A and B are shown apart, each in its own frame.
Chain A
């Protein structure tokens, strides 16, 4: 799998700011590169990308960027339901949906930042969301109706 670093994943700070910071701060010690056990995308491409591949990747990245915005909106909506929810069951299902949207954001960040680091969180957050839902259901069942 050869991935080309077309665009740096995070927007760069302005050049003046980085220059001022590097002049003001002492130089950071150089860390030795830790040996990676995870399969990282190769830094150098074997062949240059064709036009169709560039177009496909740009389409995917536009969809991913729009998806991050949409999932943030959905996150705020579910948070509103958790805060306002008239009964305990509403709060429980709101937290369940929040966990699932965090999983979705982890998937989108995996695609966007070209790293496999976030993908380990997917299974763990979904398991934790299920466990919290079950615990919440047990808690509601032992309680009087709100």
Chain B
């Protein structure tokens, strides 16, 4: 094989193409999971994990292709932010859905958060347990 023209730029572009393929794979699998999985909790899992990995791989591919300092710095900041923010956001979403008693898939084996809430009385009060009495409101206003 003739390797005379194989410079660093060509090698970096090939690496960038490979990393980009893996990132696109994760993005498409995440979207497929968002559409096809049976339950909101399963869908949150698919969206957060696959999108985090896919976006990180795509940013790394951009760093390999455009070897400029501002791009590498912005990619680094974005990767750190995504790795902190995306699991936190999906965790908040899942916890809020569980607090509103969103039903699970029928074949899910256990719901340990509900058991903990039942045992320890833990968790925020539900909105629909608070009854609103108009007569009481009139008394407090007067």
Within the complex, what minimum Cβ distance (angstroms) separates B45 from chain A?
Answer: 10
Of the candidate stretches B65-73, B105-113, B132-140, the one touching chain A is B65-73
Judge whether B30 and A97 touch: CB under 8 Å: yes
Judge whether A78 and B96 touch: CB under 8 Å: no
Within the complex, what minimum Cβ distance (angstroms) separates B96 from chain A?
Answer: 4
Contacts of A78 in B (CB 8 A): 31, 34-35
- Give the interface SS of chain A, mostly helix, strand, loop or mixed: helix
Judge whether B5 and A119 touch: CB under 8 Å: no
Contacts of A56 in B (CB 8 A): 9-14, 17
Size category of the A interface is 35 or more
Q: Is A145 an interface residue (CB 8 A)?
A: yes
Judge whether B78 and A126 touch: CB under 8 Å: yes
CB 8 Å contact bits of B69-85 with A (1 = contact, 0 = none): 01100110110011001
Within the complex, what minimum Cβ distance (angstroms) separates A106 from chain B?
Answer: 10
Q: Is B102 an interface residue (CB 8 A)?
A: yes
A90 to B124, CA, bound (A): 21
Q: Is A15 an interface residue (CB 8 A)?
A: no
A66 to B103, CA, bound (A): 38
Number of A-B contacts (CB under 8 A): 199
User: Chain B: how many interface residues by the 8 Å CB criterion?
Assistant: 68
Judge whether B96 and A137 touch: CB under 8 Å: yes
Judge whether B93 and A133 touch: CB under 8 Å: yes
Q: Is B101 an interface residue (CB 8 A)?
A: yes
From B54, which residue of chain A is reached at the shortest CB distance?
Answer: A104
A125 to B55, CA, bound (A): 12
Judge whether A145 and B101 touch: CB under 8 Å: yes
Q: Is A39 an interface residue (CB 8 A)?
A: yes
Within the complex, what minimum Cβ distance (angstroms) separates B2 from chain A?
Answer: 8
* A144: contacting residue among B20, B71, B95, B100, CB under 8 A: B100
Contacts of A77 in B (CB 8 A): 31-32, 34-35
Judge whether B95 and A137 touch: CB under 8 Å: yes
CB 8 Å contact bits of A86-121 with B (1 = contact, 0 = none): 011110111011001101100110110000100110
Taking Cβ atoms with an 8 Å cutoff, the residues of A that contact B are 1, 38-39, 50-53, 55-57, 59-60, 63-64, 66-67, 70-71, 73-75, 77-78, 80-81, 87-90, 92-94, 96-97, 100-101, 103-104, 107-108, 110-111, 116, 119-120, 122-123, 126-127, 130, 133-134, 136-138, 140-146
Q: What are 30 contact pairs spanning A and B, CB under 8 A?
A: A1-B67, A52-B10, A56-B9, A56-B12, A59-B13, A60-B20, A70-B28, A75-B31, A77-B31, A77-B32, A81-B34, A89-B94, A93-B40, A93-B47, A94-B34, A96-B51, A96-B93, A97-B30, A97-B31, A108-B58, A119-B62, A122-B74, A122-B75, A127-B81, A130-B85, A134-B89, A137-B93, A137-B96, A141-B96, A144-B126
